[in-house]
Structures are given as C-alpha cells and as structure tokens.
C-alpha cells in the first residue's frame, strides 16, 4: 500500500522523523543493560516489523497513479526481481548495521545529545557533498553554507561534551586508595574519555551516509524491489550480520568488561521487551520513509520538505537527551550555551540544505 494523497505522504514522513529520533529512548530505559545485549533484541524487533509489514501492507498489488509501473505483492516482488537488487538491499542493511552499532556504542558512552548531532550530522554532510559532486543540483552557496553550519554544530557539540567531561572529572569524589592484593573487590573500570564517544559518533556517521544509496539502487527499474520488499531484504541484511559484528563489540567492549551470550540470558523480561520495542519503532520509521519515497510524483512532498523532515530526527533525539534524560544537567552555563547554539546551527544548516534544491 502506497500513499495516494499529499497529506498521507506528509504524515508518513513525520512519523518517520519521530520514530528515527525516538527509538533510542528504549535503550536508555533499559538502565544498566549493556548495549551489546540490547542490540540482539533490537534486531529481532527490526526483523519482526519488516516481516509483518511485508505480509500485510506489502501484499497488495497496486498500479501507481499516472504511471504504468505495477507494485507487485511482496512474495511476487521477491520472485521476479533480480538477485542484484536483493543483494544491494541486504548490503545496505549490513552497512547500516555496522554504523548503527557504532552509534549505540556512542550513545552508551556519550548520550543521545552528543551521538546523534555528531554522528548523523557527519552523515548529513557526507550525503550532501557526495550528492552534489555526483549530481550537481541546487545553489552551491546554499549547499555548502548548510554544510558549513552543520560542521560548526558538530564542533560545538564536541567542545561542549569535552568541557562537560572535564567539569564532572573535577567534581567527582577522589577514588579510594588501592587495597592490598586479595582484600576486597576489584576496583571499578575507568570511564572512557570524552573523545572516545566523539570518535565513535564520527565513525558511525561516516558509514551511516552510505547505506541509503544502496537501498535506492535496489528499487531501480521496472523489476526493482518495492518499498516493503526492500525493507524486508534490508532487515535480513541487518539480521545475518549482527552475530558477527556484535561479537566484536562483545569481546572488545568500548566500556566495561567483555560480555558473552550467557549474559544475554540474564536480562529481565522488561529489558528484552524494550529492545524489541526499540527495533519495532525504528522499523516503523524506516518503512514509513521507504514507502513515502515511493509515492507518486503528484503527491510527493518534494525534496525540500522531505529532506528537512527526514533529517529533523537528529533534533528530536537531541531534545530527548537534553530534556528527558538531562544529559547536560549540572553543566556550567558556558557548556549549556554551547549545546543550545549547536541546535540553532544545526537547524539553520538543515534549513539551507533543504532550500538548496529549489534554486538552480
């Protein structure tokens, strides 16, 4: 099922923005549950959402208005499409999976209000520059002006987080003197430096900007994947690569001691449910985005609005981190000023990039 009105397409884009900006709250709600263990349930939720959507909304045959192209039901779409299209969608899922693992690692270390603007901000810059180099479109002053403002927002976020980290290190109580060997429990592991969270966010951003073009390539042609089939193959790529990629993070953790599959079984029902819910929320946002992008041109929201709403998820997640989770609570006024200036810079840069396609 594809939206056939402008209002329905706009609602799907807004739903996508809210879901993409909100799913990580479930990881925060899980408390001390390690992100490596949370991620297994998250992937189950992503696969469950994609499968359910494919066999319900994706199993209706449609002819796009003002077009001769037929969107086949999910199983028929898979049977007639080429292996290349399926492989491209699964490759997009694999690239996203590594990027997202780095992103949740950054959230675990630095929080939502740092990981999203730094990581997704870099992905935004990467996508804007690559698209302009490959297919120049839009006013260059608006494109590179927007890129410059987003870059400044990333720098401002990094400086604010580093300053907050130094402040909390000064205010932390002194560590007790080391005890004699065998007397007492092992000391708590040292917390990672501020720059580790920033480095993880930047690494996630570099990869996050690459997965969407692969998915779009899988949908090209008369026998390309429809949005629901593309989402299913994408989720399958995420599912099959998770055991390999996540095993690396489990054995070489960014924070704390290594964990094993046995630790996964010690989680509570609430923690497992929150992981699955996080995956479902992200999956709803992704499917909504794929479906809205497949809407007929006559009811499409247009590149400017689509771009602004899609990238607005970063602002949503940052506000969750600042207002709901109080990640910068107790920060000095200069630090708080930097983080709010970052939001203004990011919003202004996003506005310029959204307006750029309207001017030649």
- Selection from 95, 10, 98 nearest residue 288 by Cα: 10
Q: What is the pTM of this model?
A: 0.91
316 close to 17: Cβ distance less than 8 angstroms: yes
Mean pLDDT, the chain, as a whole number? Answer: 89
Counts of helices then strands in the chain (DSSP H, E): 15, 2
pLDDT band (50, 70, 90) for residue 133: confident
Q: What percent of the chain has pLDDT over 70?
A: 91
Which pLDDT value is given to residue 230?
A: 94
Residue 190 has pLDDT above 70, yes or no: no
Average pLDDT estimate for 285-301:
85
Q: Are 288 and 12 in contact (CB under 8 A)?
A: yes
Evaluate the CA torsion angle 217, 121, 31, 36 in order and state its sign. positive
> Considering only CA atoms, which of 45, 17, 14 is closest in space to residue 30?
45
DSSP assigned state of 209: T
- Which has the higher per-residue pLDDT, 222 or 105? 105
The pLDDT tens digits for 149-188 are: 999 999 999 999 999 999 998 888 776 655 555 555 555 5
C-alpha 153 chain-centroid distance? 18
Q: How confident is the model at residue 131 (pLDDT cuts 50, 70, 90)?
A: confident
Question: Using an 8 Å Cβ cutoff, are 242 and 43 in contact?
Answer: yes
pLDDT, tens digit (0-9, with 9 covering 90-100), for 338-358: 999 999 999 999 999 888 877
Q: Is 313 helix (H, G, I), strand (E, B) or coil?
A: helix
Res 137: pLDDT: 74
pLDDT at res. 186:
55
pLDDT in tens, 264-282: 999 999 999 999 999 999 9
pLDDT at 102 over 90: yes
Question: What would the pLDDT profile of 74-88 be if each residue is shown by its tens digit?
Answer: 999 899 999 999 999
Contacts of 83 (CB under 8 A, 6+ apart): none
| Across 15-41, average pLDDT | 96
Per-residue pLDDT at 296: 81
Q: Is the model's pLDDT at 10 over the cut of 80?
A: yes
Written as six digits, the tokens of 56 are 């319900």
CA distance 168 to 173: 10
Quick one: pLDDT at residue 2? 86
Query: Which of 141-145, 154-158, 183-187, 317-321 shows the lowest mean pLDDT across its residues?
Result: 183-187
pLDDT at 135 over 70: yes
């Amino acid at each position: 099922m594809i939206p056939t009105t402008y209002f329905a397409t706009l609602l799907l884009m807004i739903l996508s923005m809210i879901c993409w900006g909100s799913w990580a709250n479930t990881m925060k709600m899980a408390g001390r549950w390690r992100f490596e263990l949370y991620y297994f349930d998250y992937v189950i939720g992503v696969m469950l959402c994609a499968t359910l959507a494919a066999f319900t909304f994706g199993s209706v045959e449609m002819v796009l208005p003002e077009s001769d192209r037929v969107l086949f039901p999910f199983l028929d779409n898979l049977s007639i499409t080429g292996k290349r299209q399926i492989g491209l969608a699964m490759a997009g899922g694999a690239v996203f999976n590594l990027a997202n693992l780095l992103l949740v690692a950054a959230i675990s270390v630095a929080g939502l209000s740092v990981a999203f603007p730094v990581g997704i901000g870099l992905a935004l810059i990467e996508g804007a520059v690559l698209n302009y180099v490959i297919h120049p479109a839009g006013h260059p002053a608006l494109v590179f002006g927007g890129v410059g403002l987003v870059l400044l927002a990333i720098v401002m976020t990094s400086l604010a987080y580093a300053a907050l980290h130094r402040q909390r290190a000064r205010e932390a109580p002194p560590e007790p003197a080391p005890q004699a060997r065998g007397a007492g429990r092992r000391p708590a592991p040292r917390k990672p430096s501020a720059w580790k969270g920033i480095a993880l966010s930047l690494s996630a951003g570099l990869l996050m900007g690459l997965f969407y073009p692969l998915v779009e390539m899988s949908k090209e042609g008369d026998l390309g994947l429809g949005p629901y089939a593309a989402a299913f193959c994408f989720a399958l790529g995420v599912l099959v690569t998770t055991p390999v990629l996540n095993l690396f993070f489990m054995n070489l953790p960014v924070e704390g001691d290594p964990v094993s599959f046995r630790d996964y079984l010690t989680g509570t029902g609430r923690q497992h449910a929150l992981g699955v819910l996080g995956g479902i929320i992200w999956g709803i946002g992704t499917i909504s985005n794929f479906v809205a992008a497949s809407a007929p041109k006559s009811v499409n929201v247009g590149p400017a609005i689509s771009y602004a709403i899609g990238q607005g998820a970063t602002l949503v997640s940052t506000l969750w981190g600042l207002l709901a989770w109080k990640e910068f609570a107790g920060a000095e006024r200069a630090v708080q000023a930097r983080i709010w200036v970052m939001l203004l810079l990011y919003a202004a840069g996003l506005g310029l990039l959204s307006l750029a396609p309207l001017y030649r």
